Amino acid sequence: LSLKTSQLVDALKQRSQVWKIAFSKELHITARAQLESLTETIKQTMKRLNREVLDNDIDALASVMMTLEKVRQTQSEIELSFDPLTHMYQILDTHLPTHFMDKDEQDARAILKSNWDKLVEEANSRQVTLSKKQTEYK
């Protein structure tokens, strides 16, 4: 008994290609949302961290101190989210055409980790600066 499976094989290949594209699109939506969320979080945190603290402005000082505390609390959580995001984009790079992602998304993806590192460094620097100011008031 001889079966001709070439049509079945072709149909399965076509179906798997359609599924791969559909999965990639859904994965891209998820990855882009996470990238935008992380980018926005970093941008807003940096803005709050760089708020100027004048000598008599206790509200600004409290805001900066709360931001420093939030950075310390969320640092490990945010750093742990980089690997899954990177993995998603590696999958997308493998299975999607090169023109599928726009330049802004590729740029944001490329500088995400460095922006986070700058934020952490700025938080440490700001902590040291505020600690030195604190000793002046004792």
The pTM of the full predicted model, rounded to 2 decimals, is 0.82
Per-residue pLDDT, 21: 87
Take residue 82 and report the two structure tokens written for it: 């980089």
Q: How confident is the model at residue 58 (pLDDT cuts 50, 70, 90)?
A: confident
Q: Is the pLDDT of residue 57 over 80?
A: no
Q: How confident is the model at residue 138 (pLDDT cuts 50, 70, 90)?
A: low
Specify the long-range contacts of residues 44-53, CB closer than 8 Å, at least 24 apart: 45/70, 45/71, 45/119, 46/115, 46/118, 46/119, 46/122, 49/119, 49/122, 49/123, 49/126, 50/122, 53/130, 53/133
Instruction: Find tokens 């859904």 and name the residue.
Output: 26
Q: Is the pLDDT of residue 127 over 80?
A: yes
Per-residue pLDDT, 110: 93
Per-residue pLDDT, 100: 78
Contact 122, 71 (CB under 8 A): no
CA 131 – CA 129 distance, rounded (Å): 5
Q: Is the pLDDT of residue 118 over 90?
A: yes
Q: Is the pLDDT of residue 82 over 80?
A: yes
Per-residue pLDDT, 101: 83
Q: How confident is the model at residue 1 (pLDDT cuts 50, 70, 90)?
A: low
